[in-house]
Amino acid sequence: MSEIAFIKMHGAGNDYVFIDGFATQVPPSPEQLARSVSDRHFGIGSDGLIVMSPADHADVEMRMWNADGSEGAMCGNGARCVALWMHLQNRVSETCQIQTASRVVAATAVELDRSRNCGILSVDMGPPAVSSQSERLSDVHLPGTDSDVEFTPVSLGNPHAVVFVDDLTDRVVRRVGSQIETHSRFPDRTNVEWVQLVSATEINARVWERGSGETLACGTGACAAVVAAIQRGYCSADEEITVNLPGGRLQVRIDEFGHLWLTGPAKVSFSGLLNTAD
């Protein structure tokens, strides 16, 4: 048996087990470890695994695996947690440059409470890629209707399908979310955002994440939801948009360069040692 030091952190309830590769040897099979630690009954319990390692052209490299062991390209809540940890370890002073599988993002601490191991952080997620037109899945229907599911495709280095609905019910989010995630339209699967409009500056959302199922929050999902809402004229591009998720509230805005800024909480829950077989 061997032991691996880990940190459990979350951003608005979107929780991950983190391995600090600066201080701990990275396990050889992270996809297998992700499945093990994510199990909420027999493991630590999380939405996935994130490994932090030294990077050549950034302050830290972040790689993430979903609960099913599949590797993801981007995680906004995870990036805020990585930046929080780098600040708490005094490895960065101001902006934390994070190399992800899809792009380099920059995270800044808006508030930092070292005594409680938490903070509010803002991440420059870069520019999104959004279709000028919505699409329909003719073979997927909302419960109790014959209506095709209409969605707006958005990419932030990972794929999203944003669906606007009147009610965020479990049978819509969970049952239809899994159908859309694995639909043939998305050969690499997709994240699905269910969005309910509140006002021009506020939306409610639930997210069915690719490889993890529904999570309490999704940073890139919140960004995708705002991008789609602006694209369709529901929200203003000149305002900061509040995204209410089951795990908390995130803020999303688009700057003058077309970059998305994601602001929200990050917190260390606990740390420990995980026993693994050699």
What burial class does residue 277 get, using C-beta atoms within 10 Å of its C-beta: 0-12 exposed, 13-18 middle, 19+ buried? exposed
The Cα 18–Cα 86 span in angstroms is 12
Question: Running DSSP on this structure, what letter comes out for residue 245?
Answer: E
At 150, phi and psi to the nearest 5?
A: -100, 135
Active site residues: 75, 218
Query: 163 near 203, Cβ under 8 Å?
Result: no
Helical axes 219-231 vs 76-88, angle rounded to 10°:
130
Closest among 240, 83, 73 to 160, alpha carbons compared: 73
Both tokens assigned to 23: 């201080």
The Cα 24–Cα 78 span in angstroms is 19
What is the end-to-end Cα distance of the chain in Å, rounded? 5
The Cα 192–Cα 173 span in angstroms is 9
